[in-house]
Structure 1
């Protein structure tokens, strides 16, 4: 059983695990074990259960890292016994019983909200459900303003949609109440109001790093800085 925590990276909405590529390279260079499973993006409870299951099947301690909506998932999944720390990257940090909509509703809405495009997907035995992506023309400014244009065009075309119901589901637990937390605030985030990120991080008594000028896609644009914070958590819990 390894004593160095395994880092489990959880991507958020409108992205996939490849968004962690630069961060993974940084961590692997230091010999830190890391995995980045796909996030189903179908709902807070079911997605958190998926992350918790993945963590529980890892031998040894685990550091959960969540970007954006992934932060809400690690907040719930982090109660898994072998999880020893939580790292939030431009993320939602929920309280138990709180939803994404409730948390962000306390602050001025980001440009994301007015630039969502609705789709539907089939549900077995029921009516089609709604999922959302970011309108492609708005994607660069909303999600990845500090990423090269040729990259943002690819990211926009390859978006993973989020089930709209995820905004209203409430967190069944808040693992930061019993596990140490770290948080990276993206200072120029247009997808999540940075004040939402700061509020949640402070409430969780997280160790906070803020990157001025960083977009929501900070793991893509600033992989070293993101990896540096994760390394700090690994060293603290290793």
Structure 2
């Protein structure tokens, strides 16, 4: 009897939630692939990665971790979990050990996102306040979702989940791509992360790369089949 395929664990990035994976989940389930979309806490690189690693480690059998955007930084660290057999980066940050998001971004010109971030504060539960960031809703379609319908972009803008600003400065404690095979999708028209940032990290990790011309940062929403096809390539390669 053939072995069961790895479970695909989908990790969303900042300014979105698990709903961004709906089309991708549908495509994977049609192919009989077990899949779980994780609610990313978005509170910080170390704590978020620990949460993702904990989820992966408690799954019975092998896991392929898929990270979008900031989620790519998380799977880079969380991918050291013993049962993770592959990493898939979707319009994502691919960090080196000891590197922060800010350092990686600083190698290249800023994307449009940098000019349209809104800052808020919220309590941290210990009597202090922390800063978190989200995208100005008026700029959201341009920055995040230029290739989806205007109505969907408005919904995505209204449903944003903010990211703790401190996440940009935390350093990755590990780089799982050094020991696990990786794949990467580069969104060619990304205005949230400079595509050169995505490409540099993917090439440094010796990932198998697919580039989608004209794809926005919301590529999992606008082109779910292309995203699912790359994930399936990783699943088949690690089965």
How far apart, CA to CA, are the structure 1 residues paired with 2:192 and 2:144?
6
Q: Distance in 1 between matches of 2:223 and 2:47?
A: 30
Q: Distance in 2 between matches of 1:141 and 1:193?
A: 14
TM-score, with normalisation over the residues of structure 2?
0.98
Matching residue of 1:188:
189
Give the whole-Å Cα distance in 2 for the aligned partners of 1:195 and 1:155.
25
Q: Which residue of 1 aligns with 2:101?
A: 100
Q: Mind listing any 5+ residue stretches in structure 2 that lack a counterpart?
A: none
Answering whether residue 172 of structure 2 is matched by residue 171 of structure 1, we say yes
How far apart are the structure 2 equivalents of 1:121 and 1:54?
A: 26
Which 4+ residue blocks in structure 1 deviate beyond 2 angstroms?
124-127
**Partners of 1:115 and 1:128 in 2: CA distance:** 22
Contact preservation (8 Å) 1:3, 1:61: no
Instruction: Indicate the RMSD between aligned Cα atoms, in angstroms.
Output: 0.6
Is 1:36 the counterpart of 2:30? The answer is no
User: Which runs of 5 or more structure 1 residues have no equivalent in the other structure?
Assistant: none
Aligned residue number for residue 17 of structure 2: 16
Aligned to 1:161: 162
> For 1:70-93, what per-residue CA distance to the aligned partner results, in whole angstroms no more than 9, with x for missing partners?
000000000000000000000000
> Per-residue displacement from partner, 1:131-150 (whole Å, max 9, x unpaired)?
00000000000000000000
Tell me how far 1:102 sits from its aligned partner. 0.2
User: 1:7 maps to which residue?
Assistant: 8
Equivalent-residue separation in structure 2 for 1:226 and 1:37 (angstroms): 17
Question: How many pairs are equivalent?
Answer: 237
Q: Map 1:1-238 to 2 at 5 A.
A: 3-238=4-239
- Residue 3 of structure 1, CA deviation: 3.0
The Cα offsets for residues 149-201 of structure 1, whole Å up to 9 and x where unpaired, read as: 00000000000000000000000000000000000000000000000000000
Offset of residue 37 of structure 1: 1.3
The SS at the match of 1:66 is strand
1:185–1:208 contact (8 Å) kept in structure 2: yes
